[in-house]
A and B are shown apart, each in its own frame.
Chain A
Amino acid sequence: MSYAYLFKYIIIGDTGVGKSCLLLQFTDKRFQPVHDLTIGVEFGARMISIDGKQIKLQIWDTAGQESFRSITRSYYRGAAGALLVYDITRRDTFNHLTTWLEDARQHSNSNMVIMLIGNKSDLEARRDVKKEEGEAFAREHGLIFMETSAKTAANVEEAFINTAKEIYQKIQDGVFDINNEANGIKIGPQHSPTNPNMPSGGGSAGQSGGCC
């Protein structure tokens, strides 16, 4: 499948907040209640359409465990967007956001679009972090905010697509240098004839299937 742009995403956040489930819901449209711990970095891809343009999202789902931080950090580099996820039923995951944000800002390029996501919104009864707190945090740090549920798929699409829209807007505004791949943005093969060496779409799909 040809695409106009390829955006690289990274999903970060504490362990168990539902990063892999978000990805699975977005790429495979399914939910797996029991999920193995992510060991290292997994990979998923999906095509979306913004402004009538096909955009391929290449998403790196990282392990949340502290011990893997050194490995996952290297993936921040070259990501155009990041989904910073916390669990609305666990306050500590919210409290760690600052650390994550610092990490992300430090290891990624400064234009990276970061979306703050309060996941598990289906567990309203066990809510520990108010929506307003999330909103406040996002406002304070200049992030986009959204509450999602990987289980019910609520807002999942929106989270990924809104991030892509933001990136797309930044490209339109000339903020991103699209010729520098370190920014996590790539122009599709048909848009840059000098760059025929592209991964096949099938390969990415196979990868996303095997990521869990």
Chain B
Amino acid sequence: MVVASVSQTLLRRFNFFDKEVVKDPETNQVFEKLKDINISSCASGRGQIVIADCEGTVYMINRKFQITAFKAYDIRVSHLYQLKQFNILLTVGEDEEGVNPLIKVWNLDKFEKGIPLCSRICRAIPSNKPTPVTCLTVHENLNWMAVGFENGCVVIFKGDVKSDRHSKTWTVYENQKPITGLAFRPTGKNTILFVATDNCVLSINLSAKDKTTILEQFGCSLGCSLMSDSNQDHQFVIGRQDGVYFYQPDCRGPCVVIEGEKLRLEWFRGYLIIVGKEKPLLKASSSHSLEMHTLTVYDMQNKFVAHTAPYPDVIDVLCEWGSLYVLGGDRKLYQLQEKDTQTKLEMLFKKNNYTLAISLARSQQYDQEGLIDIFTQYGDHLYGKGDHDGAIDQYIKTIGKLEASYVIRKFLDSQRIHNLTKYLQALHKAQMATEEHTTLLLNCYTKLKDVSKLDEFIMTKDREVDFDVETAIKVCRQAGYYEHALFLAEKHAKHEWYLRIQLEKIKDYQKALEYIGNLEFAEADDNLKKYGKMLMSKIPDQTTELLKKLCTDYRPSNRLLVDQSDLDGSVPKIQKASAEEFIHIFVNNSAKLTEFLEYMIKTKPNSPSLLYNTLLELYLHDIVHEGEDIEAKNEKQRRTLDLLQNPDANYDLDQALVLCQMNNFKAGILFLYEKAQLYQQILRYHMEHSENVHVIETCKKFGQHDPQLWVQALSYFAKKEESCKPQLMERNLLPPLLVIETLAHNSTATLSIIKDYIIRRLQLENDQIAEDERLIKQYREDTEKKRKQIEELKTTAKIFQNSKCSICSHPLELPSVHFLCEPHSFHQQCLESYAENDTECPVCLPENRKIMDIIRAQEQSKDLHESFHNQLERSQDGFSVVADYFGRGVFNKVTVITDSNARFSASPPGRNLSSQFS
């Protein structure tokens, strides 16, 4: 008995059942209607408790504790079996004296005169040797019934339990020892019957030729075996002095040491109920005459005692109406009402037995919310006890339901940072973390200096990111874990962050640059614009290289040269950045800028003007700041000039000019002036620099474009008192009056200087006049001659003496046509075939037509006043234009009506209009 108490202390004890003596609901007195019944067997199910007595009566007690009874046997009832799924009661009893057990099957749904319908009566005798029945069991499928006998036989009744028909009976097992327990396994493919005897436990597979498996070499006493429910996998259970043993159909299962002599075993909702002999101590104290028993309820799954109490001489334990009913030797019914889960849990909480509470809640299919509530309470409890590690484990289980801030606030103390970290990690794993949580977690890591954890959190590749990347980067950056920040930034393509950290914190410019080089075009472009200046100041060479690439034919440097799109045959899209946007990057590094620009211009000749301008500026700047080295200076000037002269160079002329001027780059200025056709400027430039030779040259070179140059040169020289004027004068380009006027303005120029010039000019003029007059005279004579000719043609006869046709050169024959012009004569035949019309001489026609065209053209254009004015303005010699127009007959409106000859009288000199009309 001492051992028994030891074993019981091993299991925790609770009282999860309320014990109550059943009262008669009618009288509200203790239920004592069973007082006088000599109880032989009890059963329960289908909403009633069934009790049989030794007088052959069966009593049925309903929920209201009303009793109905009927006489089942003449002599006595020894066994009852109530099916759980059918309202069928089986009884074993005797109608005759002697050992003569009869099995009766009662249908409790059909009553006849207060007696249920007895659907079957059969004798229970194994192999013709009468022997008392010890136990009876029925399979819930109503197809199998097994009866155990005192002589060690087990008889199987196969077929419908309710009727005799088609029933097959055989003895399945024989042994020397009485059968003490029988049970069908209610599940599984095979029909398994467990048999317990005094000295062994076995299973019989009725589906497989009654294959018998001995499971144990010891047995149990009557009433100490049962079939457990699904909680224990429908194992067969036997109770022995030393413990409780479980059996699978084919082998032993676990065993639990519960010592003490066992009288009865019952199974109720996963609880094992053991009725055992009371300890002598209590028995002695009891004044009751009845022997005291102890009833203990074990939770086999969670391993604790749910109830234990002494009862007087327990006859049976019945499970009905959701409670346990203990029928005591005092014929009283004791109800054991299981407490509800919440109450049980509260009891466990009070004892701070949270672990058990959790497993209990789980086994009772408690919902998630309830479980989390327990976790929270457990966590709070552990926290209160100072077990922060344990507490956090519990809190972690509440993630998703319990407000995270509740937990976090508890652990914000720096002492608890480990726990907090763990919690936050779990939070992230559960994907419940917010930005703040990420920040906090990373801060924890950094505070703890737990680089390995941080590594794990951040660096683990292929891991799904369960945190806000940007926050993580920020925190890492702040805490100085740049590598982590970089890793994150790179992995998640947060280029800006990557570069900021790389540049501002780590200052690894090379890496940053490489990173940019690996980016897609648009990103590379953006970032280089942003960080280019900084990169340029640190690693100009590489930056320049990258820029060159970016601005010409960019492709991320980690990309294969021939990528898929190339292979597909599609035209690779070349992206180029505009170089001008990067110029500002090169501030303070003109050498690199020069290099860059040169490269750009070389590779892309049609670059925007800004590039050229800038390059020019750089060149000029270079020249100015070049030291004494003449050669280098020349080289640079040459280079600059090359740029300027490059026909592709798309620089802005004005700006280039301003630049050249600012930097005093003579060659450039002059070239640009020339290019811009600013000849005056060239001239002035030379004048300003007193380069007389160049002045003259300029005049010579550009004089024909702009005669004003000469005038200016003249006035310049006039001011200069130098003797190069004759040269100018000899050019003979300026009207003498202008020359004189120009010189007259000048105080230094004396008449003597130009005396020769003037004389010469006058002489020339005179010659010209004379020549002109001679021409006039000649024209007049011509005109006169023509007039005479016309007159002649009009008045006198003309003799045609031609003997040959002017077309075919054959002697003329009649009929012939003669023209008055040369005179020309033709065969009429020839003329007709040759000439377009026969009113004009075909020989003279082309010449005449030409003249006529000229005249017509002149007449047409004479009315175009605007073009006349234009010409007049543009012309250096307005007079000749006017004269020309006179020649065209601007003013001779009259002539239109007069004789056509009058036209020619007005023709200007120099025009040879010797034409005749037929």
Residues from chain B with a CB closer than 8 A to the CB of A70 are 242
How many residues from A make CB contacts under 8 Å with B? 26
* CB <8 Å contact, B10 and A37: yes
Q: Provided the pairs A197-B249, A199-B249 are in contact, do residues A39 and B233 lie with their beta carbons within 8 angstroms?
A: no
Residues from chain A with a CB closer than 8 A to the CB of B254 are 40-43, 60, 207, 211
Q: Kindly state the separation between the CA atoms of A14 and B190 in the bound complex, as whole angstroms.
A: 40
Task: Pick the most buried of B3, B213, B251: most chain A CB atoms within 10 A of its CB.
Answer: B251
Q: Could you tell me the distance in whole angstroms from the C-beta of B228 to the nearest C-beta in chain A?
A: 11
A179 at the interface (CB under 8 A from B): no
A36 at the interface (CB under 8 A from B): yes
Per-residue CB contact flags for chain B residues 1-38 toward chain A (1 = under 8 Å, else 0) read 00100110011000000000000000000000000000
Q: Kindly state the separation between the CA atoms of A196 and B250 in the bound complex, as whole angstroms.
A: 10
B243 touches which one: A40, A196, A203, A210 (CB < 8 A)? A40
* CB <8 Å contact, B7 and A197: no
B257 at the interface (CB under 8 A from A): yes
* CB <8 Å contact, B255 and A40: yes
Per-residue CB contact flags for chain A residues 29-47 toward chain B (1 = under 8 Å, else 0) read 0000010110111110000
* CB <8 Å contact, A71 and B257: yes
* CB <8 Å contact, B257 and A210: no
* CB <8 Å contact, B301 and A43: no
B257 touches which one: A39, A43, A60, A206 (CB < 8 A)? A39
Q: Kindly state the separation between the CA atoms of A63 and B259 in the bound complex, as whole angstroms.
A: 15
Residues from chain A with a CB closer than 8 A to the CB of B491 are none
* CB <8 Å contact, B252 and A34: no
Residues from chain A with a CB closer than 8 A to the CB of B250 are 197-199
Q: Could you tell me the distance in whole angstroms from the C-beta of B874 to the nearest C-beta in chain A?
A: 105
B811 at the interface (CB under 8 A from A): no
* CB <8 Å contact, B355 and A34: yes
A75 at the interface (CB under 8 A from B): yes
Q: Kindly state the separation between the CA atoms of A60 and B242 in the bound complex, as whole angstroms.
A: 18
Q: Kindly state the separation between the CA atoms of A32 and B208 in the bound complex, as whole angstroms.
A: 42
Q: Kindly state the separation between the CA atoms of A200 and B154 in the bound complex, as whole angstroms.
A: 26
For B259, the closest partner residue in chain A by CB is: A67
Q: Kindly state the separation between the CA atoms of A75 and B355 in the bound complex, as whole angstroms.
A: 30
For A33, the closest partner residue in chain B by CB is: B390
Per-residue CB contact flags for chain A residues 107-121 toward chain B (1 = under 8 Å, else 0) read 000000000000000
* CB <8 Å contact, A71 and B242: yes
Residues from chain A with a CB closer than 8 A to the CB of B3 are 67
Residues from chain B with a CB closer than 8 A to the CB of A207 are 233, 253-254
* CB <8 Å contact, A71 and B211: no
* CB <8 Å contact, B11 and A39: yes
* CB <8 Å contact, B213 and A71: no
Residues from chain A with a CB closer than 8 A to the CB of B243 are 40, 71
Per-residue CB contact flags for chain B residues 251-270 toward chain A (1 = under 8 Å, else 0) read 11111111000000000000
Residues from chain A with a CB closer than 8 A to the CB of B6 are 67
For A212, the closest partner residue in chain B by CB is: B303
Q: Could you tell me the distance in whole angstroms from the C-beta of B389 to the nearest C-beta in chain A?
A: 10
* CB <8 Å contact, A39 and B213: no
Q: Provided the pairs A37-B10, A210-B301 are in contact, do residues A43 and B253 lie with their beta carbons within 8 angstroms?
A: yes
* CB <8 Å contact, B205 and A39: no
Residues from chain A with a CB closer than 8 A to the CB of B10 are 37, 39
* CB <8 Å contact, B213 and A197: yes
* CB <8 Å contact, B256 and A40: yes
Task: Pick the most buried of A37, A42, A60, A197: most chain B CB atoms within 10 A of its CB.
Answer: A197
Q: Kindly state the separation between the CA atoms of A178 and B213 in the bound complex, as whole angstroms.
A: 17
Q: Could you tell me the distance in whole angstroms from the C-beta of B558 to the nearest C-beta in chain A?
A: 41
Interface range, B side:
20 to 34
* CB <8 Å contact, B253 and A196: no
Q: Provided the pairs A41-B254, A207-B233 are in contact, do residues A196 and B248 lie with their beta carbons within 8 angstroms?
A: no
For B242, the closest partner residue in chain A by CB is: A71
Residues from chain B with a CB closer than 8 A to the CB of A203 are 233, 248
* CB <8 Å contact, B211 and A197: yes
Per-residue CB contact flags for chain B residues 217-259 toward chain A (1 = under 8 Å, else 0) read 0000000000000011100000000111000111111111110
* CB <8 Å contact, B257 and A63: yes
* CB <8 Å contact, B242 and A200: no
Task: Pick the most buried of A41, A60, A67, A200: most chain B CB atoms within 10 A of its CB.
Answer: A41
Q: Kindly state the separation between the CA atoms of A105 and B301 in the bound complex, as whole angstroms.
A: 32
Residues from chain A with a CB closer than 8 A to the CB of B355 are 34
B188 at the interface (CB under 8 A from A): yes
Q: Could you tell me the distance in whole angstroms from the C-beta of B900 to the nearest C-beta in chain A?
A: 128
Q: Could you tell me the distance in whole angstroms from the C-beta of B360 to the nearest C-beta in chain A?
A: 13
Q: Could you tell me the distance in whole angstroms from the C-beta of A193 to the nearest C-beta in chain B?
A: 11
Q: Kindly state the separation between the CA atoms of A200 and B189 in the bound complex, as whole angstroms.
A: 10
* CB <8 Å contact, B257 and A197: no
For B255, the closest partner residue in chain A by CB is: A40
For B231, the closest partner residue in chain A by CB is: A210
* CB <8 Å contact, B257 and A68: yes
Q: Could you tell me the distance in whole angstroms from the C-beta of A181 to the nearest C-beta in chain B?
A: 8
Residues from chain B with a CB closer than 8 A to the CB of A71 are 242-243, 255, 257
Residues from chain A with a CB closer than 8 A to the CB of B11 are 39
Within 8 A of A (CB), among B622-657: none
Q: Provided the pairs A34-B355, A36-B303, A203-B233 are in contact, do residues A197 and B253 lie with their beta carbons within 8 angstroms?
A: no
Per-residue CB contact flags for chain A residues 48-92 toward chain B (1 = under 8 Å, else 0) read 000000000010100100011011000100000000000000000
Q: Kindly state the separation between the CA atoms of A68 and B232 in the bound complex, as whole angstroms.
A: 22
Q: Kindly state the separation between the CA atoms of A37 and B10 in the bound complex, as whole angstroms.
A: 7
Q: Kindly state the separation between the CA atoms of A75 and B208 in the bound complex, as whole angstroms.
A: 27
* CB <8 Å contact, A197 and B208: yes
A197 touches which one: B190, B231, B232 (CB < 8 A)? B190
Q: Could you tell me the distance in whole angstroms from the C-beta of B356 to the nearest C-beta in chain A?
A: 9
* CB <8 Å contact, B7 and A39: yes
Q: Kindly state the separation between the CA atoms of A197 and B185 in the bound complex, as whole angstroms.
A: 13
Within 8 A of A (CB), among B188-213: 188, 190, 192, 205, 208, 211, 213
Q: Kindly state the separation between the CA atoms of A37 and B300 in the bound complex, as whole angstroms.
A: 14
Q: Could you tell me the distance in whole angstroms from the C-beta of A16 to the nearest C-beta in chain B?
A: 14
Residues from chain A with a CB closer than 8 A to the CB of B258 are 39
Q: Provided the pairs A41-B255, A71-B257 are in contact, do residues A206 and B233 lie with their beta carbons within 8 angstroms?
A: yes
Q: Provided the pairs A39-B11, A39-B303, A71-B242 are in contact, do residues A199 and B255 lie with their beta carbons within 8 angstroms?
A: no
Per-residue CB contact flags for chain A residues 185-203 toward chain B (1 = under 8 Å, else 0) read 0000000000011111001
Residues from chain B with a CB closer than 8 A to the CB of A196 are 190, 208
Q: Kindly state the separation between the CA atoms of A36 and B355 in the bound complex, as whole angstroms.
A: 11
Residues from chain B with a CB closer than 8 A to the CB of A206 are 233
Q: Could you tell me the distance in whole angstroms from the C-beta of A66 to the nearest C-beta in chain B?
A: 11
Q: Kindly state the separation between the CA atoms of A207 and B300 in the bound complex, as whole angstroms.
A: 11
* CB <8 Å contact, B188 and A200: yes
Q: Kindly state the separation between the CA atoms of A119 and B805 in the bound complex, as whole angstroms.
A: 145
Q: Kindly state the separation between the CA atoms of A206 and B11 in the bound complex, as whole angstroms.
A: 22
For A60, the closest partner residue in chain B by CB is: B254
Within 8 A of A (CB), among B268-314: 300-301, 303
* CB <8 Å contact, A197 and B205: yes
Known: A206-B233, A210-B232. 13 other contacts (CB 8 A): A39-B258, A40-B243, A40-B255, A63-B257, A67-B6, A197-B205, A197-B208, A197-B250, A200-B188, A203-B233, A207-B253, A210-B231, A210-B300
Q: Please name 20 pairs of A and B residues whose Cβ atoms are closer than 8 Å in the assembled complex, sorted by A.
A: A34-B355, A37-B10, A39-B258, A40-B243, A41-B254, A41-B255, A43-B253, A58-B251, A60-B254, A67-B3, A68-B257, A70-B242, A196-B190, A196-B208, A197-B211, A199-B248, A199-B250, A203-B233, A207-B253, A210-B231
